[in-house]
């Protein structure tokens, strides 16, 4: 096999040695320590009810930690010797100060946090609490309290105390003896490799698994994003995302809180309120950073079109405010349609920064902060991240044959010398990788290469040697459709259909077929019921034929009033396939 190489490096050491020896931070202090000690009087959070300095957040957390201590003193009995010393608390809090306080307080007593969401049904909440072996669950409001009570009542296997965070907490005298108190809080028996979070996967490709993230893993996440996106203490981020996934929790909350920035947090996403914050100063300073999922950008565009776009002065004001006052707008967690990318630039002057990540690896690839951002691509590896595009090869020690090998600094790249884009499975090596799937050793082992050196994402990735960028083609299991001997990307078809003037949303899946192997089914949400007659299979195929080869044209369509998505805007295609009769 012929390769072209730009600077050849020695073969890397195994992943396990790489991860344990490479640390972006030399501190063993908790992740909130630096911001609290340096910016105690700086505004850390503005939520729906009040604003809080870093010192106040710390003081509230210390108060709650004293109430949590008794739950940690009882020796946990379990047959799982690997995890017998771990203590977990479920956290079901709204998007406000209560979540931060619950998380920091849990870490202060040496416990692991299991973020939960009120959007989950009781059966899912019970599964998470049981699977994570939670010692108790911390709730932040009456709704959360009632939801957990109902969950515990109807699930006999789940029996644990409920700790209401808002009882007996006070912001009075919050900065008294703060430095002494901070020193005391670091004496907890905690190491950088201690478990910090168990974040459950979305379950888009199977039953949710608990990804264990350690403190050093989180620090690696944060350091990488600060370097890639140049976070500073002067940044102000508008937070509209759920807090039980990496995007909303680490990208949009822990990273700005670590650097001393300010988080303006809405209780839930509201397009009108979001626009108010984006184009008008909500308090002392304007929003400088915004990150969201494609669904949120789509709803913001719809709200803009219906309420703001009619007057030229308003259009000019929105574009001027966003382009001049906001330094960075990002999108992730799902593929961004080019139509949204293009329209958002027209409205705000911002070319959205797309990036790629997973719960298991954090942010792995990103478009540049400065420079051209190519729609549909996810740029190049993040700082500290090494990636490979590979295909299975049983004769190789790692079980894969490498087609492309790259890192964030462009110091190493190997590509198969074909002159054409190269596709294969995306493999990742990084200090941001998760520690394990909670209590699932076999599943953990199976998601790494045979030699343990790389994490197998299960995503198909393409490298374009001309543009020197990577793009994600979809999940191997659900987004690659095998029809009549062809391997077809469902995401490619979705991108084309989303350009149709009468299509609002769509999702493409492969359904087993005795003749074709799989047939292509397009699930379509029309922009208006008045246009539904234009969305026949013949019309859709005729439109698609202008952009797609014949073998990629939809075989059938299904009209829906909406496409079911989880809290992060992701579609569970296995569930979607069950809608096909």
Question: Tell me, what CATH number does 388's domain have?
Answer: 2.30.38.10
The tokens 């739950």 sit on which residue? 71
Domain boundary among 475, 496, 521: 475
Mapping DSSP to helix (H, G, I), strand (E, B) and coil, where does residue 559 land? strand
Using CA atoms, how far residue 298 sits from 95, 248, 498, 532, in Å, is: 22, 18, 11, 20
Q: Which residues contact 291 (CB under 8 A, 6 or more apart)?
A: 237, 241, 247, 251, 252, 329, 330, 331, 332
d(CA 539, CA 115): 45
In terms of pTM, does the model score above 0.85?
Answer: no
Cα–Cα distance measured from residue 108 to residue 90, given in angstroms and rounded to the nearest whole number: 15
Nearest to 520 by CA among 504, 498, 544, 500: 544
Within this chain, do residues 414 and 464 fall inside the same structural domain, yes or no? yes
Domain extent for 460: 3-16+354-475
In three-state form (DSSP H/G/I as H, E/B as E, the rest C), the secondary structure along 457-517 is: EEEEEEEECCCCEEEEEEECCCCEEEECCEEEEHHHHHHHHCCCCCEEEEEEEEEEECCCE
**Cα–Cα distance between 213 and 437 in angstroms, integer?**
9
Query: Residue 285: its pLDDT value, please?
Result: 75
CATH code of the domain in which 566 resides: 3.30.300.30
111 and 72 in contact (C-beta within 8 Å)?
A: yes
Residue 381 domain flag: yes
In a domain, 184, yes or no: no
Whether 519 is in a domain gets the answer: yes
Residues 413 and 469 in one domain: yes
Boundary-marking domain end, from 475, 497, 524: 475
Q: How far apart (Å, rounded) are the C-alpha atoms in residues 546 and 501?
A: 14
Whether 40 is covered by a domain: the verdict is no
Show Cβ contacts of residue 21 under 8 Å, excluding neighbours closer than 6 positions: none
User: What is the reported pLDDT for 333?
Assistant: 84
Instruction: Judge if 489 and 565 occupy the same domain.
Output: yes
Please count the structural domains in the chain: 2
Q: What is the largest CA-CA distance in the chain?
A: 74
Is there a domain that residue 240 lies in? no
Q: Exposure pattern of 513-531 as b/e (b: 16+ CB <10 Å)?
A: eeebebbbbbbbebeeeee
Distance of CA 139 to the CA centre of its chain: 23
Instruction: Return all residues near 338 (Cβ < 8 A) that are at least 6 apart.
Output: 375, 376, 495, 498, 499
The verdict on 384 and 468 lying in the same domain is yes
In a domain, 379, yes or no: yes
With a cut of 70, list the residues of the chain below it in pLDDT. 1-28, 74-85, 156-158, 167-193, 202-206, 281-284, 410-418, 477, 485, 514, 567-569, 581
The whole-number pLDDT of residue 471 equals 93
| CA pair distance 159, 142, nearest whole angstrom | 19
Structural contact between residues 118 and 99, judged by C-beta atoms closer than 8 angstroms = no
* Domain match, 430 and 366 both: yes
Nearest to 363 by CA among 220, 244, 549, 516: 220
Rounded CA separation 148/129 (Å)? 10
Q: What per-residue confidence (pLDDT) applies to 301? A: 95
- Identify whether 466 is part of a domain: yes
User: Which of 475, 499, 521 marks a domain boundary?
Assistant: 475
507 and 470 in a single domain? The answer is no
Tell me the helix, strand and coil percentages in the chain, rounded to 5. 35, 25, 40
CA atoms within 13 A on the CB side of 139: 17
Give dist(CA 139, CA 131) in Å, integer: 19
> Any residues with CB less than 8 A from the CB of 316 and at least 6 apart, and which?
none
The Cα 343–Cα 165 span in angstroms is 42
509 shares a domain with 432: no
At 192 the pLDDT is 55
């Amino acid at each position: 096999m012929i390769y072209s190489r730009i600077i050849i490096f020695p073969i890397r050491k195994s992943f396990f040695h790489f991860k344990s020896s490479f640390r972006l931070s030399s501190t063993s202090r908790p992740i909130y320590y630096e911001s609290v000690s340096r910016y105690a009087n700086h505004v850390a959070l503005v939520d729906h009810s009040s604003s809080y300095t870093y010192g106040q957040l710390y003081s509230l957390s210390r108060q709650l930690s004293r109430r949590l201590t008794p739950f940690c003193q009882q020796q946990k009995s379990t047959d799982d010797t690997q995890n017998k010393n771990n203590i977990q608390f479920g956290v079901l809090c709204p998007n406000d100060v209560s979540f931060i306080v619950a998380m920091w307080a849990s870490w202060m007593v040496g416990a692991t946090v299991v973020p939960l969401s009120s959007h989950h049904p009781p059966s899912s909440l019970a599964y998470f609490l049981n699977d994570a072996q939670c010692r108790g669950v911390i709730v932040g409001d009456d709704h959360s309290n009632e939801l957990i009570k109902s969950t515990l009542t109807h699930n006999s296997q789940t029996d644990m105390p409920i700790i209401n965070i808002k009882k007996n907490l006070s912001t009075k005298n919050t900065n008294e003896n703060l430095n002494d108190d901070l020193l005391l809080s670091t004496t907890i028996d905690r190491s950088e490799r201690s478990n910090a979070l168990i974040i459950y996967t979305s379950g888009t490709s199977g039953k949710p698994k608990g990804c264990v993230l350690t403190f050093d893993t989180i620090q690696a996440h944060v350091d990488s994003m600060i370097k890639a996106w140049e976070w500073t203490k002067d940044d102000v981020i508008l937070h509209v995302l759920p807090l039980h996934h990496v995007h909303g929790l680490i990208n949009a909350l822990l990273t700005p809180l670590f650097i001393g920035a300010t988080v303006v947090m809405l209780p839930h996403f509201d397009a009108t309120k979001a626009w108010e914050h984006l184009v008008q100063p909500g308090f002392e300073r304007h929003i400088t950073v915004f990150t969201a999922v494609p669904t949120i950008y789509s709803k913001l565009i719809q709200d803009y079109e219906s309420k703001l776009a009619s007057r030229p002065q308003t259009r000019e004001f929105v574009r001027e405010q966003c382009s001049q006052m906001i330094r960075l707008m990002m999108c992730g967690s799902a593929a961004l349609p080019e139509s949204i990318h293009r329209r958002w630039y027209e409205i705000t002057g911002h070319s959205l920064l797309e990036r790629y990540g997973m719960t298991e690896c954090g942010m792995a690839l990103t478009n540049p902060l400065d420079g051209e951002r190519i729609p549909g691509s996810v740029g190049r590896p993040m700082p500290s991240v090494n990636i490979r595009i590979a295909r299975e090869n049983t004769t190789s020690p790692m079980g894969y044959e490498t087609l492309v090998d790259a890192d964030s600094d462009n110091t190493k790249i190997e590509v198969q010398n074909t002159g054409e884009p190269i596709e294969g499975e995306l493999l990742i090596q990084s200090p941001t990788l998760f520690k394990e799937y909670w209590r699932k050793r076999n599943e953990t082992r199976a998601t790494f290469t045979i030699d343990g050196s790389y994490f197998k994402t299960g995503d198909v990735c393409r490298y374009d040697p001309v543009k020197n960028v990577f793009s994600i083609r979809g999940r191997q299991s659900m987004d690659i459709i095998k029809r009549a001997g062809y391997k077809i990307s469902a995401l490619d078809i979705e991108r084309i259909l989303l350009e149709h003037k009468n299509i609002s949303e769509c999702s493409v899946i492969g359904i087993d077929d005795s003749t074709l192997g799989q047939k292509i089914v397009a699930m379509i949400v029309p922009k208006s019921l008045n246009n539904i007659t234009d969305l026949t299979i013949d019309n859709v195929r005729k439109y698609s034929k202008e952009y797609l080869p014949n073998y990629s044209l939809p075989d059938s369509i299904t009209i829906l009033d909406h496409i079911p998505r989880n809290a992060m805007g992701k579609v569970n295609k296995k569930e979607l396939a069950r809608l096909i009769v």
